[in-house]
Each structure stands twice: as C-alpha cells, then as structure tokens.
C-alpha cells in the first residue's frame, strides 16, 4: 500500500507531460539568439597583439604600446572635417580584443572617429565599427580607449562620438 501511495503521484506527474517542472524558466523564456554582423577591418588598421590566455589584470589585457596610446590621444589629422554623431552610453567591450575601437549604432559603415569623455576631458582616436540597433542604443568601447579617456571600466559613461572624415 505504501508503494502505491508513492508511485501514484509520480505517475500522475509523468502522465501530464506539460507540468511546470518541464517548462523553461522565466529567465530563459523569450531569449532569442542574435546574429553578429561581420564587419571588415578599416584600411590601415594594424592588429595589436591579443592578450595572453593567462591575462588576469587590466594591464595584462591592455596590450597597446605607449606609442599607440600617444597616437590615439593626439588630435586627429582632418582630411575633410569632423561630423558630430552624438552622445552614447558606452560599456566596456571585449577586453580580449586589442586596440582602440568603438562598436556603435551611430555609424552604418566602418570609419575613423574620436571619442570624448566630458567628465575628464579625455579623448581618443578610435575605429568606429557599426552594430545593429537604434541610434539611441548603447555602444561598446575598447579597454584601451576607456583607460585612455579616463572612463570607469565598470561604469556606463556617456561619451561624445565624432566621425573624422
């Protein structure tokens, strides 16, 4: 009799097949895979070395040289002028991806630009990389660029983005 009492609830649950135990969690519901659009590297962009697999600190991940930092901090050479693209909220991009870049929906094609952080007055020349989304969506800024402009790595700083033509 005891075995029957234990087995009946298990059989009832198994027979339902559509129980709460078998449904996805609320955190998994509505999760949609998004495709990342491949973007060609802008002309003249040199590939900085990737961080070592053993990298653990900010200094380990930022593989840019002093000369590269100085070049990024210098005022851009204006070929055809600058065009203000707007202000965006920037989060830290992939720290294992070297260089000075900004992935942003403010541009529709790769190009060169300047990111300015009004809170510190810091600026950096960056490669602008388009991503899908409305212009009001956030952007992702490289570790090297965030350090150069003095932005907090764990924050969401507002930065001004300018296209250098």
Task: For the beta carbon of residue 118, count every other beta carbon within 10 angstroms.
Answer: 13
Predicted TM-score (pTM) of this structure: 0.66
pLDDT, position 76: 73
**Residue whose structure tokens are 């965006």:** 88
Can you tell me the mean pLDDT for 44-63? 75
The predicted-structure confidence for 56-112, as pLDDT tens digits, reads as follows: 888 888 878 888 888 888 877 666 678 999 999 999 999 999 999 999 999 999 999
Write down the CATH superfamily of domain 80-165.
Answer: RlpA-like domain (2.40.40.10)
* Angle of CA points 30, 158, 74, to nearest 5°: 130
Extents of the domains making up the chain:
80-165
Residue 159 pLDDT grade (very low, low, confident, very high; cuts 50, 70, 90): very high
């Amino acid at each position: 009799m005891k075995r029957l009492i234990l087995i009946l609830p298990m059989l009832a649950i198994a027979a339902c097949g559509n129980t709460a135990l078998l449904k996805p969690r609320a955190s998994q519901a509505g999760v949609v895979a998004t495709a990342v659009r491949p973007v060609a590297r802008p002309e003249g962009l040199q590939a900085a070395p990737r961080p070592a697999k053993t990298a653990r600190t900010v200094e380990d991940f930022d593989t840019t040289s002093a000369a590269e930092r100085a070049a990024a901090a210098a005022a851009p050479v204006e070929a055809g002028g600058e065009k203000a693209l707007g202000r965006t909220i920037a989060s830290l991009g992939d720290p294992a991806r070297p260089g000075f870049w900004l992935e942003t929906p403010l541009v529709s094609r790769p190009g060169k630009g300047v990111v300015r952080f009004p809170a510190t007055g810091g600026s950096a020349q960056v490669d602008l990389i388009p991503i899908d989304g409305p212009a009001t969506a956030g952007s992702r800024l490289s570790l090297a660029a965030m350090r150069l402009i003095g932005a907090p790595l764990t924050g969401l700083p507002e930065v001004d983005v300018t296209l250098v033509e």
